[in-house]
């Protein structure tokens, strides 16, 4: 029995790669680390554009333990902690596991920067202004 997906509509031509991306992301994300996504309104007086901010709770990770990269149309945030073995824990309740969190970016999204403060990693993205494009297609008539 074949599976019917929303991308099988004849009106959605060429969206098969988006369907594969959505399936991969749904399988990969396990909820760690928790994150927020917020919209920061632009300020017309200072000329700053509207931005998006992704904030991840990365308690216990230092700047050297974190890596923020863009790969094609994806923002990838990785965390790797090295256990030195110098400590003798009686109870260890703070997670120190590796993680990789992936966010699919819309075309034209740009990363402005990343900041680590008080155990929170914030990544700012600038949202492109939508451009309305109208293109006239010539119709040819064979003779």
Residue 13, in any domain of the structure = no
Mean pLDDT of the chain: 83
CATH code for position 110? 2.60.40.790
In the chain, the largest separation of any two C-alpha atoms, in whole Å, equals: 87
Residue 111, in any domain of the structure = yes
Task: Tell me the C-alpha distance between 88 and 99, whole Å.
Answer: 24
Number of domains in the chain: 1
Q: What tokens does 141 get? A: 């008539």
Residue 12, in any domain of the structure = no
The one-character DSSP state at 64 is G
Residue 8, in any domain of the structure = no
The one-character DSSP state at 129 is P
pTM of the model: 0.68
Task: Tell me the C-alpha distance between 86 and 16, whole Å.
Answer: 50
pLDDT for 28: 59
pLDDT for 128: 72
Q: Is the dihedral of CA 19, 69, 80, 32 positive or negative?
A: negative
HEC assignment per residue over 85-100:
CCCCCCCCCCCCCCEE
Residue 6, in any domain of the structure = no
66-125 pLDDT per residue, tens: 999 998 889 999 999 877 678 788 887 776 678 999 998 988 889 999 999 999 999 999
Which residues pair with residue 75 across a beta bridge? 70, 103
Give the other-Cβ count within 10 Å of 137's Cβ.
5
pLDDT for 112: 94
Which residues pair with residue 51 across a beta bridge? 40, 126
Residue 138, in any domain of the structure = no
- The helix/strand/coil state of 131 is coil
Q: Residues of 56-88 as b/e, b for ≥16 C-beta within 10 angstroms?
A: bebeebeeebbebeeeeeebebebebeeeeeee
Residue 15, in any domain of the structure = no
Residue 6's pLDDT band (boundaries 50, 70, 90)?
low
pLDDT for 113: 95
Residues 124 and 113: beta-carbon distance below 8 Å: yes
Domain interval for residue 52: 35-84+92-126
């Amino acid at each position: 029995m074949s599976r019917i997906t929303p991308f099988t509509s004849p009106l959605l031509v060429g969206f098969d790669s988006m369907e594969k991306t959505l399936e991969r992301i749904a399988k990969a994300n396990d909820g760690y680390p928790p994150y927020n996504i917020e919209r920061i309104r632009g300020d017309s007086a200072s000329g700053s554009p509207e931005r998006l901010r992704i904030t991840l709770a990365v308690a216990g990770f230092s700047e050297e333990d974190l890596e923020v990269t863009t790969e094609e149309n994806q923002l990838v945030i990785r965390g790797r902690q090295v256990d030195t073995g110098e400590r003798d824990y009686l109870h260890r309740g703070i997670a120190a596991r590796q993680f990789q969190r992936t966010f699919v970016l819309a075309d034209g999204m740009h990363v402005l920067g990343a900041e680590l403060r008080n155990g929170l990693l914030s990544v700012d993205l600038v949202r492109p202004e939508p451009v309305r494009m109208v293109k006239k297609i010539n119709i040819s008539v064979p003779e």
